[in-house]
């Protein structure tokens, strides 16, 4: 599973309205229990009925809205939201309870990625080992120059390959979630001007451990990566 582009499934105007309406719900500007209408959405976001309906359809699939005849379109409580949807993660980081979302994501990563690294050390093939090493090399180059966008892409590649190399389809299904977390850290100015050399070195440790089949080292080094990222995020809130 590869990272999904931000607006891969919708056209430009549809995507803009989806982001705006989803962001308003994530930020509680539209509170749970509030009843909307297609006409009201059209007026609020200056869009056509077809665009409004498409945004509602997507948000209904995400558990954020429920459309019922003779009732209207009701904003749903967050307990029913599709919390693993990368779009919702981005909206919560952009508009909503960023601190709580970052904590939840850090806890998720701590529970998943060290185990994935251990499995990768036992299961990764030669091509995946080369991909991990290549991603680390790119991270090293861009960390030295302070080019954060290409550094982010290399970092996302590293974590995607690692999750896929675990050989566990449940872990691999979290690729987009982790990619959105990494992107959010960069987009919200929570990365230093030059990435932490210690973090880059830890990625190298994981790649080497996977290549050597060192399960214990892979797990320990990945745990250290998650802890470093969590500390940096906490400091940057």
Mean pLDDT (the chain) is 92
Do 228 and 128 share a domain, yes or no? yes
Quickly list H helices, the chain: 12-26, 38-45, 49-61, 86-95, 98-123, 126-145, 148-165, 169-172, 175-187, 197-212, 215-236
pTM reported for the whole predicted model = 0.85
Mark which of 22, 55, 80 sits at the end of a domain: 80
85: in domain: no
Kindly report the CATH number assigned to the domain that includes residue 156: 1.20.120.530
Mind listing the pLDDT tens digit for each residue in 84-106?
A: 999 999 999 888 678 788 889 98
89: in domain: no
Do 108 and 41 share a domain, yes or no? no
Q: Which residues contact 159 (CB under 8 A, 6 or more apart)?
A: 113, 175, 178, 179, 182
Mind listing the pLDDT tens digit for each residue in 44-77?
A: 999 999 999 999 999 999 999 999 998 999 999 9
Mind listing the pLDDT tens digit for each residue in 150-206?
A: 999 999 999 999 999 999 999 999 999 999 989 988 888 878 889 999 999 999 999
36: in domain: yes
Do 106 and 18 share a domain, yes or no? no
91: in domain: no
Show the domain range for 181: 97-236
Q: What is the pLDDT of residue 6?
A: 42
Report the candidate in 129, 147, 128 with the shortest Cα–Cα distance to residue 138: 147
């Amino acid at each position: 599973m590869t990272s999904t582009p931000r607006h891969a499934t919708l056209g430009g105007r549809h995507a803009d309205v989806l982001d705006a309406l989803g962001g308003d719900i994530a930020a509680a500007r539209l509170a749970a229990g509030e009843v909307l209408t297609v006409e009201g959405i059209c007026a609020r976001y200056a869009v056509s009925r077809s665009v409004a309906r498409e945004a509602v359809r997507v948000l209904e699939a995400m558990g954020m809205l429920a459309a019922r005849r003779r009732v209207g379109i009701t904003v749903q409580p967050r307990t029913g939201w599709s919390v693993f949807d990368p779009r919702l993660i981005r909206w919560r980081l952009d508009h909503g309870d960023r601190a709580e979302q970052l904590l939840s994501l850090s806890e998720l990563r701590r529970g998943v990625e060290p185990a994935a690294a251990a499995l990768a050390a036992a299961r990764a093939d030669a091509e995946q080992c080369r991909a991990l090493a290549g991603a680390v090399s790119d991270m090293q180059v861009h960390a030295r120059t302070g080019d954060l966008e290409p550094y982010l892409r290399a970092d996302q590649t590293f974590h995607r390959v690692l999750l896929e190399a675990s050989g566990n389809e449940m872990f691999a299904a979290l690729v987009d979630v982790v990619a959105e977390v990494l992107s959010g850290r960069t987009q919200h100015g929570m990365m230093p001007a030059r990435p932490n050399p210690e973090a880059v070195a830890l990625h190298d440790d994981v790649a080497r451990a996977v290549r050597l089949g060192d399960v214990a080292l892979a797990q320990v080094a990945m745990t250290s990566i998650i802890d470093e990222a969590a500390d940096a995020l906490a400091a940057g809130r």
